[in-house]
Structure 1
Amino acid sequence: MEGSSSKHTLNKPIFYLLSTLVLLIIRVFINAVLPLMDKTEARYAEIARIMSETNNWITLQIDYNIPFWAKPPLSTWLSAFSINLFGVTEFAVRLPSLIFAILIIFMIGKYSKQQGLPFFLPAFILLTIPEFLLHAGVVSTDMSLCFCVVLTMLSFWESSKTEKRTVWNYLFFVGLGLGLLAKGPIIIILTLPPLCLWLLFFKDHIKVIRKMPWLIGTLIVIIISIPWYYFAEKASPGFWDYFIVGEHFKRFLDSSWSGDKYGFPKSQPIGMIWVFLILFTLPWMILVIKKIWTARLNLKTNKWLLFLMLWLLWTPIFFTISKSLIHPYIMPVMIPLALLIVFWWSSITLQKTYLITSLIIPIIAVIFFTVSLQNKSLEFYSKTDKYLLNDKADDSIPVYHLHKKSYSSRFYSNGKIKLMTSNQFNEALQTRTPFLLIISHRDTLSLKKEQKTKLKKIQSNKYKSIYSYQ
């Protein structure tokens, strides 16, 4: 009786609604307080800041007048627009990822209701998946791509359920068009193959292909995405070759691709994508693996189950042979993972155990973050220049970064920080003009004694110090 009562309590809608709200509030708080970290997140934030400042909505810029060819503009557009509304803050640049996460939550809730389960059950599951919770507050292209994949896949599924043409038939193409603006042709690679495989298993759904508005749909994709690609190449010749050929073929096939302008070689062992998938989805992935093994002989008997299975497995299968990858590549399959758990939820005997276990990582994250704020260890260990720049006393004194400007220093100085070379540093020390200088600890070791004596340390963290010269 006690176990039955506990299970009944856990399936009450209010539990999942309140849990979802609490997890979102925590994510909002962290989004607003956590500084932007170098290099990746601060880089995308700075690109958005420059777009907002220069009002150049065609060419993404990694620095003033230096184009950024690695990604399309959707997430940058939204972050830049958010900056226009809320100012140059962490919350503003992270807001689009949070909104995409919330939209996804509301898109998939109905599939839980259809099974007589709470609407916010899949939301709770998603927000306790470490990968999804992390990217609900990260400035990147991954959450926007995830949203586009979800829109494309679920639009196709809804289109398959009726012989009539509905709005879902057109939203399928909207998803593809937006996906081309979110991260490029990868949207096609991640969605069409699993859909084609699903149609091969259920040939009666070939009629879905026939009723899709291919002509109008193609026009929708073209109208949404192609104009930007055209103007981007016109404004910055060479973009097509770098982005289409380099980012989508050379990066995938060659982990040591020497043409990468913005990152660094990411050589992972073959099959590492599966390790990422398991580690960043604990504990839920353990449940899914068990259920898949149990249901392996009956996968073809349920169309929804096979649809989710193909969606979940295709992305890691595709990236299995690639060595050049990072864990955010698994983001598009967080949704089928959550929906599979919802599909099997009523048959799970250890619901309470999984619910409690899934909250461990968010709780640890909150405790760690709170303690870090209290003892200021966040300021010391964070790989960001925010706190160094916060401690400068006089805004009229110019600020420099020795050898190489970081993205966070650019963002938090509103682009005012300047680069100082070794020769310029020596010349500056011979003048009486005051300045502030950020120096990495590695570069500090190479300074001469007479140079150090002319500088006064203002603040330090684990990676850098900021000095004043009067």
Structure 2
Amino acid sequence: MIADKFKSNPYLLYISVILIAIFRLLLTATIPLLDKTEARYAEIARIMQETSQWVVPQIDYGIPFWAKPPLSTWLSAASYLVFGVNEFAARFPSFFLSILLLVIAGKMAKKSGVSFYLPGFILLTMPEFLIHTGVVSTDTALEFCVAIMMISFWKTMTSEKKTYWNYLFFVALGLGLLAKGPLIMVLTFPPLFVWCCLDTQRFRHLFSKFSIISGIIITAIIGLPWYYFAEQQSPGFLDYFIVGEHYKRFVEPGWKGDLYGSGHSQPKGMIWALLFIFGLPWVQVVFYKLWKTRKTILKNDWVSFLVLWLFWTPLFFTLSKNILHTYTLPITMPIMFLMVYWWKDFTRKKVLIRIALIFPVIAFIGYTVLATGVFDKKMNTDKYLLEQILEKPENRDIPLYYWKEKNYSGQFYSSGKAQLITNENQFDSIFKTNQKIILVSLKKKENEIPKKVIKKMILAESNYKTSIFISK
């Protein structure tokens, strides 16, 4: 009986979604925070929670973080208050927002006559979405806000009268300003405008069905006060964030003005390659179907809406050389909606389902191997090294220093106790006040440690990129 049910598509979708979601939740609690991005945002949230400085995020004590607005940081910091400071708490808001999108999309799919679990299956088997279902970053919050804006716009435009979706559009816009700034408007307004241009009657519907004045007020109340207070408490923020992060980052290859890293220089058009890799296998199916139905795309309101949503983001980033695969995350939603729309047309659904399960299965196998601990020293984190040193009672009160450059994971897993040494003179004053110190160094910078200091140290632990020394 159970075997027969498992052979049916709806039951297979249901089981797959539940198992993948549970597996992804397990990952949020058991995988260490990885450098640089994830550990960085987790540490920024930890400092926020510890210092109760909720206006200006800090990348280190007293050093403001101007690169991103605080929504995702607020969520992780609030999660720490509930669950304590740990990996699970840092990642839980991202997991929750992703699952909430699955529920919203599932209800929309059910109304169209397909399985409630189909959207969840498509998204959770897409590498980009599965990776970000439980990653500490600003991208999940941005994706959530973009999705709510676009869904709200569609719901409002296709309803016979004003609905709460009208106001939800402006709420999501305000939250988007707090998630990643004006980029929320760049990713949503152009495709919405072009879609309305396809039938100019839509502009009349837009002004009749949206409470524009009150909506703008709602957006302003939600999104703008933080910008004012952030500039007041940290002068220079607006210039760096608006001009640097929203203009120079995308038009200057290898942008040198980044205060918190370096530009991610890639060949122009790389966004399309990333889309085809991290959208597997669904984006390939969608592009094939779009080609087959290219003559009728613009005749279907829903399909044309989704196509513009899908294509605008990669088109916008085509000329940019500062590209990350995370830029494709907001368009996993239109890929999914297009697959749901065409689902009944596919005759080989089980083949699609089996192919889609390849990535989650590979991820599970990889996790099983990692759980053995065999790759602990190969992972891009200082967690295991610090645990082995600091778990010894005699080492817990010894000051911890990083040579020339701190890893964010080191800051997080030392609860912010890691300090930075940048020159030889600092060693002299440190050794005058401390009999012993713990010194952490990237292997590429070990040869820069003064020889007289190395003579006082013994190597305690190391991995592929980091070494930990303890003074004799």
TM-score over 0.5 for the alignment? yes
The aligned counterpart of 1:410 is: 411
Quote the Cα distance in structure 2 between the aligned partners of 1:191 and 1:448.
53
**Within-5 A mapping of 1:283-432:** 283-377=281-375, 379-392=376-389, 393=392, 394-423=395-424, 424-425=426-427
The aligned counterpart of 1:232 is: 230
Q: What letter corresponds to residue 65 of structure 1 in structure 2?
A: G
Q: Return 206-215 or 289-298, whichever deviates more.
A: 206-215
Contact 2:156-2:162 within 8 A present in 1 as well: yes
2:16 counterpart of 1:19: yes
CA positional deviation for 1:202: 2.6
CA positional deviation for 1:205: 2.4
Aligned in 2, Cα 1:272/1:469: closer, same or farther, shift over 3 Å? same
Q: What letter corresponds to residue 403 of structure 1 in structure 2?
A: K
CA positional deviation for 1:86: 1.0
Quote the Cα distance in structure 1 between the aligned partners of 2:76 and 2:366.
28
Contact 1:176-1:221 within 8 A present in 2 as well: yes
The aligned counterpart of 2:435 is: 433
Quote the Cα distance in structure 1 between the aligned partners of 2:239 and 2:219.
21
The aligned counterpart of 1:158 is: 155
2:113 counterpart of 1:111: no
Quote the Cα distance in structure 1 between the aligned partners of 2:16 and 2:438.
46
Q: Return 333-342 or 454-463, whichever deviates more.
A: 454-463
Quote the Cα distance in structure 2 between the aligned partners of 1:255 and 1:85.
41
Structure 1 stretches lacking a partner, 5+ long: none
Contact 1:271-1:320 within 8 A present in 2 as well: yes
Contact 2:460-2:470 within 8 A present in 1 as well: yes
Contact 1:52-1:81 within 8 A present in 2 as well: yes
| TM-score of the superposed pair, with normalisation by structure 2 | 0.95
2:460 counterpart of 1:458: yes
Aligned-partner SS, 1:296: coil
Quote the Cα distance in structure 1 between the aligned partners of 2:48 and 2:449.
36
The one of 120, 124, 128 aligned to 2:125: 128
CA-based RMSD of the aligned residues comes to 1.8
Aligned in 2, Cα 1:233/1:450: closer, same or farther, shift over 3 Å? closer
CA positional deviation for 1:434: 1.3
Quote the Cα distance in structure 2 between the aligned partners of 1:450 and 1:64.
30
Quote the Cα distance in structure 2 between the aligned partners of 1:257 and 1:356.
42
CA positional deviation for 1:10: 3.8
CA positional deviation for 1:319: 0.8
Deviations 1:228-251 (A, max 9, x none): 111001111111111111111111
CA positional deviation for 1:314: 0.7
Q: What letter corresponds to residue 158 of structure 2 in structure 1?
A: K
The aligned counterpart of 1:204 is: 201
Q: What letter corresponds to residue 465 of structure 2 in structure 1?
A: Y
Deviations 1:249-279 (A, max 9, x none): 1111112322211120222111111111101
Q: What letter corresponds to residue 444 of structure 2 in structure 1?
A: R
Contact 1:131-1:328 within 8 A present in 2 as well: yes
The aligned counterpart of 1:42 is: 39
Aligned in 2, Cα 1:10/1:287: closer, same or farther, shift over 3 Å? farther
CA positional deviation for 1:87: 1.2
Q: Return 198-207 or 79-88, whichever deviates more.
A: 198-207
Deviations 1:180-237 (A, max 9, x none): 0000011111111111111111333223322210110010001001111110011111
The one of 88, 91, 102 aligned to 2:99: 102
CA positional deviation for 1:425: 3.3
2:83 counterpart of 1:76: no
Number of paired residues?
464
Q: What letter corresponds to residue 58 of structure 1 in structure 2?
A: V
Q: Return 416-425 or 295-304, whichever deviates more.
A: 416-425
Quote the Cα distance in structure 2 between the aligned partners of 1:338 and 1:304.
13
Quote the Cα distance in structure 2 between the aligned partners of 1:193 and 1:348.
31
Quote the Cα distance in structure 2 between the aligned partners of 1:207 and 1:9.
49
Structure 2 stretches lacking a partner, 5+ long: none
Contact 2:267-2:321 within 8 A present in 1 as well: yes
Q: What letter corresponds to residue 250 of structure 1 in structure 2?
A: K
Aligned-partner SS, 2:415: coil
2:178 counterpart of 1:178: no
Aligned in 2, Cα 1:54/1:143: closer, same or farther, shift over 3 Å? same
Quote the Cα distance in structure 2 between the aligned partners of 1:403 and 1:327.
29
Quote the Cα distance in structure 2 between the aligned partners of 1:416 and 1:178.
33
Contact 2:9-2:350 within 8 A present in 1 as well: no
Q: What letter corresponds to residue 71 of structure 2 in structure 1?
A: L
Deviations 1:310-349 (A, max 9, x none): 1101111111111112111111100000111111111112
Quote the Cα distance in structure 2 between the aligned partners of 1:30 and 1:322.
33
Q: Identity across aligned pairs (percent)?
A: 48
CA positional deviation for 1:451: 4.3
CA positional deviation for 1:420: 2.2
Aligned in 2, Cα 1:469/1:172: closer, same or farther, shift over 3 Å? same
The aligned counterpart of 1:219 is: 217
Contact 1:283-1:357 within 8 A present in 2 as well: yes
CA positional deviation for 1:6: 9.3
The aligned counterpart of 1:194 is: 191
Contact 2:6-2:12 within 8 A present in 1 as well: no
Q: What letter corresponds to residue 412 of structure 2 in structure 1?
A: F
